[in-house]
Chain A
Amino acid sequence: MRFGEYPHVGKSPDDHYFVEGDKHSGKKMDDYLLKNTPILTRSIKDTIEPRPTPLLELKNITKNYVDGRGNEIVVLNNISLSINHHEYISIVGPSGGGKSTLLRLIMGLERSTSGDVLFKGEALKGKVSPHTAIVFQSFGLFPWLTVAENVEFGLESAHIAKDDRRKKTLGIIQEVGLEGFENAYPRELSGGMKQRVGIARALVTDPEVLLMDEPFSSLDPLTAQALREEILKVWSNRFTTPDVVIMVTHNVEEAVYLSDRVVVLSARPACVVKEIQIDIPRPREKRDSSIYDYTDQITTLIA
């Protein structure tokens, strides 16, 4: 590895100065390399490319509520997260710990008491993010609308001509395997098909960030497995959105199987206990023993 080829090897601003300065050469550089080799070899991609702005950043997010008796309740306590392009992130933690609140903040459906949500470096400032869409555990479909109408509803606020909307809707319906069910009503659908509609309605807006709140937990285990694979296919396609998936789940094994990184939150008030990088190459096999190792490690952190 030639030193000069990697202008941004360091992690902190001090490191940058140290590396980039011309006067640091010879033995000093060797010392530096020796000292920092673990950082240099950990992620080649990061070191070769100039580090881009993270796609999404949460900066010191705190959220307080006032309950019926006037007591202030801290739900989220100083949460900071940096999410890079093309990451699949899962958030796990005890129930009632504010995981869903965190998703609502990222979506812009709620405002934090303090701290900022930044999308490509720009603060959301309480607006609903146009780059983000959400999939709910309970599907969130309108029973009086057909599949196609439910999906097209995702485009309601977009300024798109009617014909284009239809075209886009039918394209997404095909992509998630709903073709043939366009004029079915939710009550006619199996749970798996209902959640496909939920996913299609989110995808139709071309979101760069797809948020999912316990998306598979109301499905039977086999259907859940089928839909996990479908989501992986959608996310793995780098030519289409979403670029990033952020999923809240209480199923640790599911989080490990799907994610690049698992963020463990504490009980209320939630703070980040640990972020665990899941270094298992894709495509992954559920029988892979390292999935159990990670699952065990993370479960211990929560329990």
Chain B
Amino acid sequence: MDIPKVHYSVLLGFLEILDDQGGKSDVARIATKQGLELDNLLPILESGEILGLIEVNAGDVSITEKGHLFIVASPKVRKKMLRDVIINLETFKKLVDLVKTSEKGYVNKSEVLDFVSNQTSSTMNPADDGSNEFDWIVEWGREALILKYDANDENISIR
């Protein structure tokens, strides 16, 4: 799925460190320096690219103009910047439609899990029930002020 799969603070820390290196670094060098294994580094790079904050090119990673703005922005502006991107990601577009067209005005976790497995059936590990994807949807949906999730009744609604 086309959504960020790394915690917000981890991505932010990566941006700060990259910024401190002059905004550009060799991918391998920054990974070694920060003690990052490939498994940890790849989701950071992918998420940063999805959000338009970094660019990866020929083994180099650099902060985009938007990424520079993001670093110095207030929390409020940061959320606005994230929202503008995330609300246009395919997964979120479809999910927001799903919630909007639901009679109750919210969808339950079980419905979202079905939705997730339909989206990712070809790429997903069969052992994965989609709850991992679900958690990322909730985390970034909250972060970008798009979704609300209530862990007590497990319902997602639009913020």
Say whether A and B bind each other: yes
Residue A192 CB within 8 A of the other chain: yes
Tell me which of A183, A196, A226 contacts B10 (CB under 8 A).
A226
A181 touches B142 (CB 8 A): yes
A176 touches B35 (CB 8 A): no
In the assembled complex, which residues on chain A have CB atoms less than 8 Å from the CB atom of B132?
Answer: none
Residue A21 CB within 8 A of the other chain: no
In the assembled complex, which residues on chain B have CB atoms less than 8 Å from the CB atom of A174?
Answer: 75-76
Among A174, A180, A191, max chain B CB count under 10 A is at: A180
B75 touches A175 (CB 8 A): yes
A226 touches B145 (CB 8 A): no
B16 touches A226 (CB 8 A): yes
Mostly helix, strand, loop or mixed at chain B's interface?
helix
In the assembled complex, which residues on chain B have CB atoms less than 8 Å from the CB atom of A303?
Answer: none
Tell me which of B14, B21, B149 contacts A287 (CB under 8 A).
B21
In the assembled complex, which residues on chain A have CB atoms less than 8 Å from the CB atom of B143?
Answer: 180-181
Among B10, B21, B138, B144, max chain A CB count under 10 A is at: B10
A176→B9 CA distance, assembly (Å): 12
A285→B22 CA distance, assembly (Å): 10
A177→B44 CA distance, assembly (Å): 19
B34 touches A221 (CB 8 A): yes
Among A179, A183, A222, A285, max chain B CB count under 10 A is at: A222
In the assembled complex, which residues on chain A have CB atoms less than 8 Å from the CB atom of B14?
Answer: 222
Give the Cβ gap from A290 to chain B, nearest Cβ, in Å.
Answer: 15
A180 touches B13 (CB 8 A): no
Residue B81 CB within 8 A of the other chain: no
In the assembled complex, which residues on chain B have CB atoms less than 8 Å from the CB atom of A227?
Answer: 9, 13
A180→B150 CA distance, assembly (Å): 12
Given that A174-B75, A177-B75, A183-B150 are contacting pairs, would A222 and B9 also be in contact in the complex, using a CB cutoff of 8 Å? yes
Tell me which of A175, A180, A285 contacts B142 (CB under 8 A).
A180
B35 touches A221 (CB 8 A): yes
A206→B36 CA distance, assembly (Å): 37
Given that A175-B75, A223-B9, A226-B9 are contacting pairs, would A184 and B142 also be in contact in the complex, using a CB cutoff of 8 Å? yes
Give the Cβ gap from A217 to chain B, nearest Cβ, in Å.
Answer: 15
B151 touches A180 (CB 8 A): no
In the assembled complex, which residues on chain A have CB atoms less than 8 Å from the CB atom of B144?
Answer: 180
A189-205 interface (Cβ within 8 A of B): 190-193, 196
Given that A175-B75, A180-B79 are contacting pairs, would A192 and B142 also be in contact in the complex, using a CB cutoff of 8 Å? no
Among B12, B21, B35, max chain A CB count under 10 A is at: B12
Give the Cβ gap from B12 to chain A, nearest Cβ, in Å.
Answer: 4
A227→B9 CA distance, assembly (Å): 8
Q: Give the nearest-CB partner of B44 in chain A.
A: A222
The interface of chain B, by Cβ under 8 A from chain A, is 7-14, 16-17, 20-21, 34-36, 44, 75-76, 78-79, 138-139, 142-145, 148-151, 159
